[in-house]
Amino acid sequence: EENKENLQAVTVIAEEFFLTLFYILSERYVIGIGETTYKEILTREVIHRLAIGPSSRSNLVKHLPAADPEDDDSCSFESLLDEVLNEVADYREPGLTGKGLFCLKTAQMHLCNQFFIHYTKIDRSKVLEERNAFLKKTNDNNVTFLAMPPRFLPKLESVLKLLHSEKLAFLMKLVLNRALSMQMVTVEIIEVTLLIIAVGLLETKRARNSEKFEFNFLEVLLKKNNDEFSIFELIEDLITKPSSKEFQKVVKWIKLLIEEEMVCSTIHKHDLKFLPSEDDSVQDDKAKKLMLSKERKERLIAQMNKMQTDFMKYHHEMFEDDSNNKDVYEDINYIEDISLPIAIGCKRSHSEENIQQAQCILCQEEQLLDNENSFIVMIFVNESSVFHFQNKKSENLQPSFCDNSACVNVSSCGHIAHGKCWDKYYTSRFSTSASTFFSNRLNTIDVSKSEFLCPLCNSLCNSVLPLLPRIVESLPVSEDTDMVSLTELLAYMDKFSSELSRNQTKEIKQTGLLQTCVKIPQKIPKIFYAYVGWHEKTPNFMELFLKKLLKLSSASSSTVDDIAISSAVPLSWMACSFTLQALECQFRSAGKNMFFNVSERQSLFINSFVNLLQSSCVIPSYTHIEEFAEKIFNFFCGKLESDISILTLDVFGVMISLRFIVAAVQHLFQSSVWFPFASHLLDDVAFKLCLNTYIIKCFITAPLYLKKDHEDGKPTADTDILMLTENENEVVKTFATLKSFCGIQVDTQQINGHLLKKHVVDSLLPFLRCSAYFFHFLTGVKIPESLKTEYICDELFVLLTYLNIPVNIDELLTLNWLMQEEKMIQVTKRWCEHKDVYNVSSIKIEKCYFTARRLITLPHDYSSLINMASGFRCPTTGDSSCIPSLCLVCGEMLCSQCYCCQTKNEDQYGACVLHSVSCSNSVGIFFIVRQSEIVLLYNHTLGMMIPSPYLDQYGEADRGFRRGNPLFLNEKRYENLERIWISQQIPENIVRKIETDRSLLSNEWSRY
């Protein structure tokens, strides 16, 4: 043990000795030691700092070499830093939370020295990793491990005599001899010794190119004493040893330097053996094989060209006339068009296979998806204010939520579990006997709102959806070409409405639900029989989501137990509508395709959601569904004026509701009133009715005089050709007709047909995307492949084909097929004569589709924002606010973290928390102006800080304003923040951050 300790001590001393000797010989970038300048010193320092990894400018400033206080001519290195960075580094833009970073240019990597004097051992290992990664990426064999150092000043040139010392030569031989067997020596000692040899060779190279300086280190390397091997011979032997793998590249580089000097030396030129090395022979073999392969390829190509020429010579008649093939190409294009799948109607394509198996994330067991195995999908249900502003909840529980005030969004991480496994997990986590560890975690989630974290990904959840199998009625063997007209649908809706007004509510006991369904005529879809068994087996999971909707919609004085579960069924229809439209708006705002690269878990969630809506028709009570159905039917075919205005109508939500209302009403009346059509025809006619309603709404809400894009009123170059076909005058006439129904006379000569058509088609596309998404999961018909690409061509054509609509866009917009039915004309006139529509010249609605509430526009210069906040005074005391905070959702300035503006109730809440409740449903984004920070708030008690969007020219936020650099708005960072707001991910991000950093719980976020 003593020998081991002594050997270890000697090894450490040897490492320090060789390192010190290397520093003495190579570290010359100091004024007064080497012939260098301040810029060269700084350049070398920056290169070695960036060789460790990308770094911010502020971090580089911390490691700048200190100026000599006794030297009057010394300069500030920070003043030269920007110039040096432009030469040796590339700038990388900051992300959402990061800093602006400088990365070393690849051309500067060869100037890096692993044993830089300011490196620690950790820095040396990092540089070695970066160098190996660089060599592996570039595959550069001409790499250098030490750059040419500057010349010593004349008074210090005698330092180089150390390299001619016989004792140093003995030590170098000793290290290399031990390196052959890797005994009593370390890799670091070997590498430093090799670099000392490299210093001598570089000085020899400098002397060879200089007339005044004489230095020859080659003699030391080739000198032999008492039949010992020379240093050069030891280096040659070291290359072939397997033990030299870690430093073999350095050894090869040293050998190349020695051979280069031997070639240039007249004395030792004869000692160099010009024999091909092993590497050279390998390269020659590769070159020879490459040449043979190239020649063989050329012969094969020539042979194929000859065969092709002979074939064309003997069959020249096949290539004479291509005009006969025109019809063939047209047939091919026609077949490609026909091959597009159709989701609804009598031409509906076959459905995809249903989900066969599912794996539980808790027990890891994979089972078949059937009535025997119940699976659930974890979801998060919350009220959203991102797309529509809502000041207060509806105080009555009447399910008249078919307008744009229903703002319930449903999202999911897509992870699934057994119903029983999840029930055990949920109960164990919130039982009174829970562990102390988890009781601390209750601060992260709100138990009163049934919140929990996904066991796999820690996503925030508060409810579950049952994973139900999709059951679609099979198409008849012989295609039924009969279509259901809108008049027939309106006639049956009129019958349903009349029957609803005469019948009283029918209560169906839950225990007799299956027996009741057996009495239903056989034309009822078989979906009921499958869902009734699942519902009676696990009724809790079927109703859990509906109860969550009731909690969000009910008044604070009401309890869910006092309300019939059927009142939540219409809410679930509208929640599905809002979720799909919000999803489409998110993709549209980000400039992405809604159908491109949809994740499997996202598809699983939407599929479960839609399947649950189908099962909602089988419920114990129909009271509220009757009331909701009566309102919908009265809107379309009622004789009295409806309370619902087409301006505020959520047409997509009405389409979803209408699709399921007919099935629910059929179940209610059983055989007294019957809709004698299959589900695929019901899908088709319900969609067409709502499509025409949506087009009418687009025309009614269109401005009278659209602004021209150009002076001549012609469309822009990127306008879709399909949007700008002929017959635009017919579109203008339809617009004038509908405006006349509203009591407004329009001069058709003043209407720009191009812009009007583009306005209507742009408004129509979001509705078509959402409809295609919904019917894809309802019917199981696959999405066309052309819609799954990142950039879609002819999107309107593909969507219309998928939804079984004639592709002639002019015919669709002119509403010719609609105006031929007298019933629809009467309905249209009744909509236009509504009190909120008739004779209203300026309708206060901009667009028919969802648009996100963008964050406010911040000034580019941070000083402008400071000036704006300096004039703000506390609304309570009238004094200047110490911590003014700006709401980025609405732009209101608030007095934050001050007792003057806090409530005096049982729980004290700050101004920002209270403002977020009314402004954005307890989800807040506030900019703390004087600290230049952004705080995200959720649910009164949770929050997190994120870096400011105001950065200096180097991409860094100056917290505390210590550096004093001017700050400017980083557009990309602010856009990323807006993307998180639009995608409604703020609550999830806050919870994830708190789960990784529990210290955030100690902050009193409720005081903000």
pLDDT tens, position by position, 854-875: 899 999 999 899 888 888 877 7
Query: What is the Cα–Cα distance from 264 to 622, expressed in whole angstroms?
Result: 101
Chain centroid to CA 870: 37
Burial of 404 (0-12, 13-18, 19+ CB in 10 A): buried
**pLDDT surpassing 80 at residue 798:** yes
What average pLDDT does this structure show over 631-657?
80
Confidence class for position 935, pLDDT limits 50, 70, 90: very high
pLDDT digits (tens, 9 = 90+) for 237-289: 888 887 777 788 888 888 888 888 888 775 555 554 444 444 555 555 666 67
Task: Name the residue among 823, 722, 805, 720 with its Cα closest to residue 767.
Answer: 805
Q: Which pLDDT belongs to residue 888?
A: 93
Collapsing DSSP to helix, strand or coil, 180 comes out as helix
The confidence score (pLDDT) of residue 958 equals: 79
Provide the pLDDT confidence category of residue 936 given band limits of 50, 70 and 90.
very high
| pLDDT band of 766, cuts 50, 70, 90 | very high
* 713-739 residue pLDDT tens: 333 333 443 344 457 788 888 888 888
- The pLDDT, as a whole number, for residue 517 is 43
Q: Return mean pLDDT, the chain.
A: 77
pLDDT confidence of residue 921: 83
Kindly report, residue by residue over 562-590, the tens digit of the pLDDT: 456 667 788 888 889 999 999 998 888 88
Mean of the pLDDT values across residues 55-67? 83
**CA-to-CA distance for 965 and 952, rounded, in angstroms?**
6
Poorest-pLDDT segment among 86-100, 325-339, 365-379, 636-650: 325-339
Question: Tell me, what amino acid is at 380?
Answer: F
What is 531-592 written as a DSSP string?
Answer: HHHHHHH-HHHHHHHHHHHHHHHS-TT--GGGS-GGGGHHHHHHHHHHHHHHHHHHHHHTT-
* Locus of tokens 């025809």: 681
Q: Are 346 and 682 in contact (CB under 8 A)?
A: no
Q: Which of 147-151, 303-307, 803-807 has the highest mean pLDDT?
A: 147-151
pLDDT at 37 over 70: yes
Q: Contact 54/103 with Cβ under 8 angstroms? A: yes
Q: Is 879 helix (H, G, I), strand (E, B) or coil?
A: coil
pLDDT level of residue 478 (50, 70, 90 thresholds): very low
Of the pLDDT bands very low, low, confident and very high (cuts 50, 70, 90), residue 359 is: confident
In this prediction, residues 368-376 reach a mean pLDDT of 75
The kind and range of the H/E element at 465 are strand 463-466
Distance between CA 669 and CA 500 in Å, rounded? 9
Which residue ranges make up each domain of the chain?
Answer: 157-267, 488-504+562-707+725-852, 862-1007
What are 754-764's pLDDT values in tens digits? 888 888 888 89
Cβ neighbors of 664 (< 8 A, separation 6 or more) are 569, 616, 617, 622, 625, 629
Q: Which of 1-5, 405-409, 775-779, 875-879 is the most confident on average?
A: 775-779
What integer is the mean pLDDT of 87-101? Answer: 83
The closest of 633, 634, 766 to 697, measured between CA atoms, is 766
pLDDT for position 857: 92
Task: Determine what percent of the chain is predicted with pLDDT higher than 90.
Answer: 7
Least confident piece of the model among 3-12, 16-25, 424-433: 424-433
Higher local confidence (pLDDT), 422 or 388: 422
Model-level pTM?
0.78
pLDDT average, residue stretch 470-493: 66
**What is d(CA 123, CA 118) in angstroms, rounded to the nearest whole number?**
9
Average pLDDT over residues 65-80: 67
Tokens representing 16 are 């320090």
Find all residues with CB under 8 Å of 14, minimum gap 6, and list them: 189
Q: What is the pLDDT of residue 482?
A: 62
Q: What is the pLDDT of residue 599?
A: 84
Q: Inform me whether the pLDDT recorded for 794 exceeds 90.
A: no
Cα 281 to Cα 953: distance, rounded to the nearest angstrom: 54
- pLDDT above 80 (res 499): no
Which position has the higher pLDDT, 576 or 998?
576
pLDDT more than 70, % of the chain: 75
pLDDT, position 925: 93
Quote the CA–CA distance of 787 and 800 in Å, as a whole number.
12
| Residue 768 confidence (pLDDT) | 93
The C-alpha atoms of residue 566 and residue 507 are separated, in whole angstroms, by 11
C-alpha–C-alpha distance, residues 820 and 488, integer Å: 14
> What average pLDDT score do residues 301-317 get?
74
- The pLDDT assigned to 336 comes to 39
For residue range 434-465, what is the model confidence (pLDDT) as tens digits?
454 455 555 677 777 888 888 888 888 988 98
SS3 1004: coil
604-636 pLDDT, tens digit per residue, is 899 888 888 877 665 555 566 777 788 888 888
- By CB atoms closer than 10 A (0-12, 13-18, 19+), residue 856 is middle
CB 651 within 8 A of CB 507: no
* pLDDT of 670 higher than 60: no
Using DSSP bridges, classify how beta strands 923-928 and 942-946 pair: parallel, antiparallel or unpaired.
unpaired
Q: What mean pLDDT is predicted for residues 149-176?
A: 88
**770 has pLDDT over 90:** yes
Helix (H) or strand (E) holding 408: strand 408-418
